[in-house]
A and B are shown apart, each in its own frame.
Chain A
Amino acid sequence: MKKIEIDENGYYGIFGGAFIPELLYPNVKKLEDNYLDIMNSDSFKKEFSQLLDTYVGRPTPLYKAERLSQKYGATIYLKREDLNHTGAHKINNTIGQILIAKRLGKKRIIAETGAGQHGVATATVCALMNLECIVFMGEVDIERQAPNVARMKMLGATVIPAKSGSKTLKDATNEAIRDWINHPKDTYYLIGSVVGPHPYPDMVARLQSIISEEIKQQLNKQTGSSFPNKVIACVGGGSNAAGAFYHFLNEEKVELIAVEAAGKGVDSGRSAATSVLGDVGVLHGSKTILMQDEYGQVIEPYSISAGLDYPGIGPLHAYLNDIKRAKFMNATDDEAIKAAFELTELEGIIPALESAHALAVLGKIKFKKDEVVVVNLSGRGDKDMATYMKYIK
């Protein structure tokens, strides 16, 4: 198998690149020229790992879920990213990028957010570093994720509603990019997923790769082998999946399973299953798989989960899907809800709706006895209680 890595132009196979207006070129170029040097520097490494340990609460546990294992006939471990400070894996990335932004001398931080988790994680690190924070969030998402909006505001961020298009994550991203065009000198765009122009997909994947680094160590300690048979993660843009897959990408014996949101069903017209419904296109600066009509107009995705209704996937995932290195599955709204209640009942853990999609495919896979499976539990369910409450009998 050809080694899976990004090439010098920022491509995974045919996916990636930096399709940006000339106005953003100097900014993106400066980041591209510096991100690896910064990330490989001793000062960055030291500060990053110290903050992850003492502020974020890493390493997060790798928990053997006994009752869940019993139910599905495999040995299932949960990577507890839900236990991170701010409630999801998102903060791994924001801590890393804020340290990079500081080293680039930027004073003003902008971010997009869907469910609000990345917005909260960005507002948090901006408070920590005393930097101005502006978060773009779709008007529709502001409504369905009110607690996270309040958290961002309490953390000192300005939340600007994105009122264009579908008023969700893709439009929040458009607005953030427009703001960046208008403030090229002092502003750093802190992207929340493995999307956007090169070098963002690679940078964010590297920052999230701590997840699989820990899985390897923890699994080795608990089972004597660093390699599970399967790793399962949900994919919206795909940052938690990129982090959970990263150190297994070139280990063929580890099966990688990416789970997209099918919404009301893949063929219902209300779905976010990009790998099934999309084809090659350019979105937010990278060439990837995109949900679009016959004229290349972007189609509004739908999912009950605000973190998964994105019309594209990161270019790494488009590539993994293309070369069949990862198996793409999907789960509907109803299946995700059911999985969330099941995990709560069996293990006493309320997962985020996004993570519930990853759990929802456990019942769709035929496991061999003794298979070791890691599910990346990317976030906790606190933010989704309003949705869950509708289903409590």
Chain B
Amino acid sequence: MKKLNKLFAEKKNNILSVFFTAGFPSLNDTTKVLKALESSGADFVEVGLPYSDPLADGETIQRSSAKALANGINLDIIFDQLLLVKDTNKLPIVIMGYFNQILKYGEEKFCAKCKECGVETLIIPDLPMIEYENHYKELFGKHGLSNVFLISPMTSEERIRKIDDMTDLFIYVVASSATTGAKNKLSDEQLKYFDRIKNMKLESPLMIGFGISDNNTFNNACKYANGAIVGSAFVSAISGVGTGDIDTVVRNWVEDIFSK
């Protein structure tokens, strides 16, 4: 059983997933941040592969990606970093990256590396469902990798049902029609949309992401889904933090999110 399946089977509410950019703030902080999140009580993590042209990302993650690339990060280094902690890390790891990096690395080699590093799940925002079905479903399956699909306020009910059918872990509910970025309040329109999705009574667990930034937005989102994903707000919080202070900053940040 995959770590994430186990998580969703055991924990139904208030699941916290945290996105962070690999190789940020410093090149070798990837494992440091991962460990700190694990010991602070985050439920799973999304490791972002820094990309030169992150189309779906707002300024915060764009900047962290540019910084990580300037730090010298690349896919081989990221896999090496993940391999280092493979035996000790208990957190489920999701890799989030743009498709071109995977294509260029070689899809087969990429999948094999993920498996070797204990990664079981992928989020590839610019890999559309039809490409996945036609070209990648089999390959991912062969390496034990699950693909997570996104839905947005514009996604039709029919398509959401189809995504639900194809999902074996969770559905990523994009909170608004927007690129990634922290916002401090959820609008009535967003809550109505979450309600609509909740009432569809889908099979798959739901995780709400994009614009979730603090304990208020986190708690609010968790009323409508199994949990929520925080990205930009976390990346901002650790931006500029020295390696020695990461533990403290991450612990305080996670505590803050979980506070009622």
Contact = CB atoms under 8 A, between A and B. Distances in A.
B100 A17 contact: no
B125 A22 contact: yes
B193 to A, nearest CB: 13
B128 interface: yes
B10 interface: no
B174 interface: yes
A170 B55 CA distance: 11
Nearest to B78: A295
A116 B130 CA distance: 35
A353 B149 CA distance: 44
Interface stretch (B12-20, B151-159, B217-225, B244-252): B151-159
Contacts of B155: 22, 25-26
Given A165-B52, A177-B55, A19 B75 contact: no
Interface string B119-155: 0000001111111000000000000000001111011
A321 interface: no
Given A18-B128, A177-B55, A23 B154 contact: yes
Contact of A19 (B62, B99, B159, B177): B99
B55 A296 contact: no
Interface string B42-60: 0000000001110110100
A contact face: mostly helix, strand, loop, or mixed: mixed
A290 B174 contact: no
B174 A174 contact: no
A290 B100 contact: yes
A184 interface: yes
Contacts of B99: 19, 282
Nearest to B177: A184
Interface in A12-66: 17-23, 25-27
Interface residues of A, number: 37
Contacts of A23: 56, 150, 152, 154, 174, 177
Given A178-B55, A295-B75, A22 B149 contact: yes
Contact of B126 (A20, A26, A170, A298): A20
A19 B53 contact: no
B241 interface: no
Interface in B176-208: 177-179
Nearest to A23: B152
Most buried by B among A19, A177, A285: A19
Contacts of A165: 52-53, 66
Contacts of B101: 295-297
B104 interface: yes
B166 interface: no
A349 interface: no
Contacts of B40: none
A164 interface: yes
A185 B177 CA distance: 9
Given A181-B178, A294-B104, A296-B105, A21 B55 contact: yes
Interface in A276-290: 279-285, 287, 290
A183 B179 CA distance: 10
Contacts of B62: 164
Contacts of B179: 178, 181-182
A130 interface: no
A297 B131 contact: no
Interface of B: 51-53, 55-56, 58, 62, 66, 69, 74-76, 98-105, 125-131, 149-152, 154-156, 159, 174, 177-179
Given A181-B178, A182-B178, 7 more contacts: A19-B127, A21-B125, A25-B128, A26-B155, A177-B55, A182-B179, A185-B177
29 contacts: A18-B128, A19-B127, A20-B126, A20-B128, A21-B55, A21-B56, A22-B125, A22-B128, A22-B149, A25-B128, A25-B154, A25-B159, A26-B154, A26-B155, A165-B52, A165-B53, A181-B179, A182-B177, A184-B152, A281-B104, A282-B98, A285-B126, A292-B100, A292-B104, A295-B75, A295-B104, A296-B51, A297-B52, A298-B100
